[in-house]
Amino acid sequence: MQKVIIITGISSGLGKSTAEYLSQKGHIIYGISRKLLEINPKINVLKADVTDPESLKAAIETVLKKEGKIDILINNAGMGISGPIEYSSDEDIKLQMETNFTGIVYLIKCVLPAMRKQREGTIINISSIGGLMALPFQGFYSASKFAIEGLSEALRMELKPFNIKIVVVRPGDFFTGFTSNRKIDPILSDNPYEPQFRKTLSIIETDEKKGLKPEYFARKLARIIEQRNPHFTYIISTAEQKLAVILKILLPEALFSSILGSHYGIK
């Protein structure tokens, strides 16, 4: 059945592939981007910044005026900062949390009045495997994704009486613009973390560059959307990354932390 779908972050990576695939499947797509893009003409582009609630309000009003409803919101836009927690600038921490977490809150608040009136709707929040296990030198990125996980758990219960579903999707490594868009805090030469940070960051980047293709993500997400009763959470990743999530649950915390740390070159 054709659905009205809003998706953020359609200029690149997972959002772009998903918007294109869902539009090919016949859905009505509204894509939010900070740029007015030259993209598939079937995708309606709305210019908005997820850190600017007024721009989001205007974008949602446009969709409601044209379509009269919103079936699905996919909160996908995001970015990562990287660096030692001690040396991360206040400005970068704010940018990280506002883009990945507060932006989602703003958008959810914009769509809920319409979804409550409809007495149906689905909100899909794109978290990360990094929202289940924190990675070294990605502390604030992980914190932003852990925050999405907590928000989604509470929302799921609050919205049940209104028949609004919450789905959390946790991608593993995908090769997208995410790696080159990562904001790296300037490292001072006397920073005691520097050699370790450089080593770990290079492992993180290598893993991402060897990651899955965004088209795979788009197909998996489309299948989730087709479910009448989707699960609350999904992991979209390689089998190895799914295994890491299981090990995090099963192994003693100190052992898991030491295995994960050693993958990232930390002894």
Ligand X SMILES: NC(=O)c1ccc[n+]([C@@H]2O[C@H](COP(=O)([O-])OP(=O)(O)OC[C@H]3O[C@@H](n4cnc5c(N)ncnc54)[C@H](OP(=O)(O)O)[C@@H]3O)[C@@H](O)[C@H]2O)c1
- Helices 239-250 and 253-263 pack at an angle, to 10 degrees, of 150
* 157 close to 54: Cβ distance less than 8 angstroms: no
Q: Respond yes or no: is residue 145 known to be catalytic.
A: yes
Q: Judged by CB, which is closer to ligand X: 109, or 160? A: 109
Decide if residue 242 touches ligand X (CB under 6 A).
no
* 32 close to 48: Cβ distance less than 8 angstroms: yes
Q: Respond yes or no: is residue 141 known to be catalytic.
A: yes
- Which residue among 5, 6, 7, 50 contacts ligand X (CB under 6 A)? 50
Decide if residue 92 touches ligand X (CB under 6 A).
no
Query: In a 10 Å sphere around its CB, with 0-12 CB exposed, 13-18 middle and 19+ buried, how is residue 80 labelled?
Result: buried
The catalytic residue among 17, 23, 127, 128 is 127
Distances from the Cα of 42 to the Cαs of 18, 21, 38, in angstroms?
13, 11, 11
Residues between 102 and 161 that touch ligand X (CB under 6 A): 126, 128
Instruction: Measure CA 222 to chain center.
Output: 16
Q: Respond yes or no: is residue 189 known to be catalytic.
A: no
- Which residue among 5, 14, 108, 225 contacts ligand X (CB under 6 A)? 14
Decide if residue 206 touches ligand X (CB under 6 A).
no
* 67 close to 44: Cβ distance less than 8 angstroms: no
Task: State the DSSP string of 194-258.
Answer: HHHHHHHHHHHHHHHHTSB-HHHHHHHHHHHHH-SS--SEEEES-HHHHHHHHHHHHS-HHHHHH
Decide if residue 173 touches ligand X (CB under 6 A).
yes
Decide if residue 177 touches ligand X (CB under 6 A).
yes
Q: Which stretch binds ligand X (CB under 6 A): 21-29, 169-177, 246-254, 259-267?
A: 169-177
The catalytic residue among 21, 30, 106, 141 is 141
Tell the smallest beta-carbon distance from residue 211 to ligand X (Å).
5
Q: Which stretch binds ligand X (CB under 6 A): 33-41, 108-116, 117-125, 193-201?
A: 33-41
Residue span 208-237 as binding mask against ligand X, x where in contact by CB under 6 A, dash where not: x--x--------------------------
User: What does the alpha-carbon distance between residue 89 and residue 235 come to, in Å, rounded to a whole number?
Assistant: 31
* Half-sphere exposure in the Cβ direction for 242 (13 Å, CA): 8
Decide if residue 20 touches ligand X (CB under 6 A).
no
Q: Respond yes or no: is residue 127 known to be catalytic.
A: yes
Q: How are beta strands 72-75 and 81-82 bridged, if at all?
A: unpaired
Q: Judged by CB, which is closer to ligand X: 33, or 152? A: 33
Tell the smallest beta-carbon distance from residue 233 to ligand X (Å).
14
Query: In a 10 Å sphere around its CB, with 0-12 CB exposed, 13-18 middle and 19+ buried, how is residue 38 labelled?
Result: exposed
> In the complex, which residues of this chain contact ligand X (CB under 6 A)?
8-15, 33-35, 49-51, 76-79, 99, 126, 128, 171, 173-174, 176-178, 181, 208, 211
Query: Which sequence positions are flagged as catalytic?
Result: 11, 127, 141, 145
